[in-house]
Amino acid sequence: MNGTMFSDDNGNDQAEKLVDDVLSNFNLVMGVSLVNSSADLLGGKVRPGYEKKFARQQALSTNMWGSWYSLLLSIAGKMDDYGEKVEFLTIWREDYKTILVPIFSESAIISLAVDSSVDSRAIVSKVKLFLKQSLPSEQATG
């Protein structure tokens, strides 16, 4: 699987299904979004009950998604120079954190909004495993 799987007529439906699947399988995740390498927001959803917490973020320009994608790729590129692989990037907020995770061989990013106390590495590992198992015929993780 790669980020281009979302480019056909059913692309948004597939992206929304992926977002829904992550939310329904991971109670620790308060919100999910999916962005492709062109910085297009393909899908996103906030768990019911958390709408007020994310009201300000939902009003952000879609250009912000491109900035996040560029930031992650920039950091990943620098880490590659040192022989390290970036598995995720955590951005801390006032009362939660957003974890950016490259997926589909790094042609897309899934962002996970979680409580600040959640172990980033653990939730990333679980979500990547879930994606790999859910999409067995296609390469889900980078």
Report yes or no: 54 and 47 within 8 Å, Cβ to Cβ: no
User: DSSP 3-state assignment of 103?
Assistant: strand
- Domains of the chain, residue spans: 3-134
| pTM of the predicted structure, to 2 decimals | 0.76
3-134: CATH number: 3.30.450.30
| pLDDT tens, per residue, the chain with 142 residues | 344 455 444 557 888 889 999 999 999 999 998 888 777 778 888 888 887 777 666 565 555 656 666 666 666 666 666 666 778 888 888 788 989 888 876 678 888 999 999 999 999 999 999 988 886 544 455 5
What the block records as the tokens of 94 is 């006032």
The amino acid at 90: T
User: DSSP 3-state assignment of 118?
Assistant: coil
Which are the contacts of 99, defined by CB distance < 8 A and separation ≥ 6? Answer: 88, 89, 90, 91, 111, 112, 113, 114, 120, 123, 124
